[in-house]
Structure formats: structure tokens, C-alpha cells
Amino acid sequence: MAVDLHSHSTASDGSERPSTLVERAAELGLGTLALTDHDTLEGIEEARKAADHLDLELISGAELSLDHVGGMHLVVLWLEPGPGPLQDRLGSLQNGRNLRNAEIVDLLADLGMPLTTDEIAAESGSGSVGRPHIAAVMMRKGYVQSIAEAFELWLAAGRPAYASRPRLSPEEAISLALESDGVPVLAHPHTLGINRAAEMADLLTRLRGAGLVGLEAMCAGYRRHERDGYADLARRFGLVPSGGSDYHGSYKPELELGVGYGDLEVPDSVVEELRTHRGAG
Ligand SMILES: [Zn+2]
Ligand SMILES: [Zn+2]
């Protein structure tokens, strides 16, 4: 059965409720779905309730944005809601996220694109607010033609309405993940912007040393040779090649759970291999 180890719901910046996401995954015939919202486990309870009635294994998780030049995302699988070393830190990261959104709204107002926090909150539903929600409101108000344009012109790092927020270092995040019985996986490595093999090798040696378990090799949008290349790279550094669609609902049109843009396939065996690392911290 196909699996998907990276997805987002309304608990962060996806467009579908956690329960809808789980039902969709089951309808599509997935055997396992990991819900990995940005910096939050808020969607897990609802997702789990929905999964209990279905023939689907739900893996609780979160995707952390880390302090790294150019950005770095870490998917932590089997991170359960409730108290715990990493779970507790997610609360303070969430505060940072809210402060950042307020800063972006201020910057946009200065740039002649006023929007209100109510408009953004309405866009996000009940979940936490992120830049895609701000981009959607900008589009609705006619400031930009598309969400992509909102990022390219205004919201991306280095653009006029960009604001940073407090982040964990990669080492800190990996160690907190392991202490919390989670399994840390480096997400979509192409976004690290590393082109030199030696630089990638240094980074993976460093993160493996810190306890990194997996590396996403099977990402939507990768060509077959890229997936194979990243899988080889993972194995060379003792990491498990993982993957998923990074589904965001209508915020990433044409991207489907499980299959990505149609050709994604993450085998069951990945789940079993990652699972053996649970509680290894
Ligand atoms: Zn990501
Ligand atoms: Zn993601």
C-alpha cells in the first residue's frame, strides 16, 4: 500500500481540515499518512479520531523550520501531542510565528497593501496562520495575481515584506526530537540550495552526528534520477530515504496526497524502517 509521510492541514497552512485529509487519504487507498503541520501538533487529535474509523495508520508529526542559511525544514515523525521536550518548545515557537505575522502585516501596510488580522484569520480557518494565508488575502484583494507572485515579489526571504522569526538550530531540533521519541527526517533537500557535493556531505555528516534518522528522497516534483540520487545519498550517510507529497490542499493545486504530481511512490518498507528508530533517543 502507498504511504505519504509529509502533509499539511488547516492546523498550519493546508486548506483542508485534518479529518478531511485523513478521509481523502483513505479514499485514495493510502495505508499510512503522516500529518506534519508546521510547528504544531494541533491537528493530530482530530486526524486521529477520523483515522480510528478507517483502515489507515495515522502517524502524528510536525515540520519544523530551522535556523539555517537559506532555510531548513525537519519533519519529525511519531511526535505525539502532549507534554514533552520538543512539544513544549513548539508552544514558544508558535508565539514567534504570531509575532512574525503581525510584523508582515505592518510591512505590507507600509507598502500600500493594507490587510487585517481578521481577514487572515478567516482565510486560515481554525489553524495557525502562515504566509500562504497572507498571500491568499493579498490575491483576493487584488494586490497580486497569484500566491506564487505574492511570495516572489513580497513575502519570500529577502523581499520587502519578509520577516524572520525565532527558530531552533538543526542540532537542537534533532536532539529534542529524539528526546521526545520522535524520528527526525530532513525535508525536501533541494530547498537547502546546496549544489556542491562536498557541502552536502559536510552537512549530512554533521546532522547524522546529531542523530538525524532520515532524508526525504521521494518528493513530489523530483524526477526519477533525482529521487534515486537522493536515496543513494541518504544510504551513503546511514540515513533512511523517506518521502511524501507535502500536500497543502488548494494552496498547491494539482498536488495530490500520496502520488504528488502523479508519479510519486513511497513504499511501505520506508515506514517499517523508520519505525525501528522510534525511541532510539
Ligand atoms: Zn517544508
Ligand atoms: Zn511541508
Whether the pLDDT of residue 281 is over 70: the answer is: no
- What's the whole-number mean pLDDT along residues 52-61? 96
Ligand nearest to the CA of 72: 1
Average pLDDT of the chain to the nearest whole number: 93
Ligand nearest to the CA of 65: 1
Q: How far away, in angstroms, is 53 Cα from ligand 2 center?
A: 26
| pLDDT of 253 | 86
CA distances (Å), origin 151, targets 16, 130, 134, 180, 217: 21, 12, 10, 34, 25
Entry pTM: 0.83
Ligand nearest to the CA of 71: 1
Tens of pLDDT, residues 167-191: 899 999 999 999 999 999 999 999 9
DSSP string for residues in 75-128: EEET--SSS-HHHHHHHHHHHHHHHHHHHHHHHHHHTT----HHHHHHHHTTS-
| pLDDT of 13 | 87
- What's the whole-number mean pLDDT along residues 46-58? 96
| pLDDT of 96 | 79
Tens of pLDDT, residues 136-168: 999 999 999 999 999 999 999 899 999 887 789
Q: How far away, in angstroms, is 74 Cα from ligand 1 center?
A: 7
- What's the whole-number mean pLDDT along residues 197-221? 96
| pLDDT of 207 | 98
Q: How far away, in angstroms, is 229 Cα from ligand 2 center?
A: 21
- What's the whole-number mean pLDDT along residues 232-240? 97
Q: How far away, in angstroms, is 125 Cα from ligand 1 center?
A: 21
Q: How far away, in angstroms, is 235 Cα from ligand 1 center?
A: 21
- What's the whole-number mean pLDDT along residues 3-10? 97
